Each structure stands twice: as structure tokens, then as C-alpha cells.
Structure 1
Amino acid sequence: MQVLISRKFVRYRNGSSKQDFHIDASERNIERMEMMNNIEKYRNAFMDALELEEDQVSEELALGETREWDSLGHMILISTMEEVFDVSIDAEWMTEFDSYKAGKELLNRLGVDFVNE
């Protein structure tokens, strides 16, 4: 059984069934994220929220291209990004976050700097 910790969810995957439970992120994960630069945080948020391996996260990654980035995965990813970068992504902008590149552009508009860190 795999366990995923994000902002509000722990996801247990047992075969094809999913069950999500409310939980706060652990202090260890928060401390680990604070020591990373923004691009590392962004990549790790994708890996954590969508249960992806490092080699599965690329600039070409887009909503619906992997089994994990479905509608539920999208909401977990949005929630994770809000927690990691201390931003609020409103419903209108959630639909803009449909790819790895689009997510970086959206977070940049919200004040997250991926260049000068």
C-alpha cells in the first residue's frame, strides 16, 4: 500500500480503489520543502501530489496525460501548490493549470519566482 501526503489528504492506493482522508502535512515534509528552491518545490509537489516518479515530471506533462493526473489528482495538485507556495488559486485559475508549464506561469503571476531565487 502506498501513502501520499499532501496539504489535506493522505491517499491510500490499494489496487484501483482510492480513498482520501483529511490530514495535515507532516512537519518533516514541510521542513524538507523549506530547504529547496522553488523549482525543486514545484517538481516535488507534482511527484508527491500525483504519485509520479522523477522521470515522469517534465515540461511536457499535461492534465489527463497520465492516469494520476485526473480530476481528483488535479484538485490534490492544486491544494498541494497552495500549501507549498502559500498562495490561493481561485476556481477560475484552476482550469488554467492544465500543464506543467502553465502551472509555473500561473504561480509566477501569483508572485512565485522561479528565476531569481
Structure 2
Amino acid sequence: MTDTNRLVNVFVTALEIPESEVNDDLKYDQHKRWDSMAHMILIAQLEGEFDVMFDIDDIIDMSSFVQAKLILKKYNADLSL
């Protein structure tokens, strides 16, 4: 499984949304399922899936699917942008 597939699966699970909704247009402030509680679940699941520990700036900055890819690339995830 690619890192991109793993990332999509985490978003699907954490936000409880269909895979079809996980795309580069997905943003925190524009999706009703992505609230503050879902954000913390997402962070925890991403840290577990990718075996990383985000710093506080990364947690705050992760406001979109695209931003999640950019942040995970800092931790050496192999994700296409």
C-alpha cells in the first residue's frame, strides 16, 4: 500500500467520510465532519500510521488534505503533491 493510500485511509477512518470526499479540495473549515474532535483523532491516527510525532505547529497547520501531505513529506512520507 502506498503512503498516499495510507493517508486517504486515515482520513476516511478518522473523519468517517467516504473515500470519494478525500481529495485536494478537502479543508477543515469547509467540511462538517472535520471538527476539533475529529481533528485530534485524525492527528493521532496519522501519527500511529506513519510512526511520527507531530509538533504543535504541524497540528495547528494541518487544515487541509493538501497540508497533511506537505507536513507528512517533512517526515519522509512518499506522497505526491
Query: C-alpha root-mean-square deviation of aligned residues, in Å?
Result: 1.0
Give the structure 1 partner of residue 33 of structure 2.
68
Question: What number of residue pairs does the alignment pair up?
Answer: 80
Higher RCO by CA contacts (8 Å cutoff, separation 6 or greater) = 2
Q: Deviation at 1:53? A: 0.4
The alignment partner of 1:78 has SS state of helix
**Deviation by residue 1:8-33 (Cα, 9 ceiling, x = unmatched):** xxxxxxxxxxxxxxxxxxxxxxxxxx
Give the structure 1 partner of residue 60 of structure 2.
95
Identify the structure with the greater helix proportion: 2
Return the TM-score normalized by structure 2. Answer: 0.93
Q: Which runs of 5+ in 2 are unaligned?
A: none
Return the TM-score normalized by structure 1. Answer: 0.65
Whole-angstrom CA distance in 1 between matches of 2:57 and 2:23: 24
Q: Which has the larger radius of gyration?
A: 1
Q: Say whether 1:49 aligns with 2:14.
A: yes
Q: Deviation at 1:64? A: 2.3
Give the structure 2 partner of residue 26 of structure 1.
none
Identify the structure with the greater strand proportion: 1
Q: Which runs of 5+ in 1 are unaligned?
A: 1-35
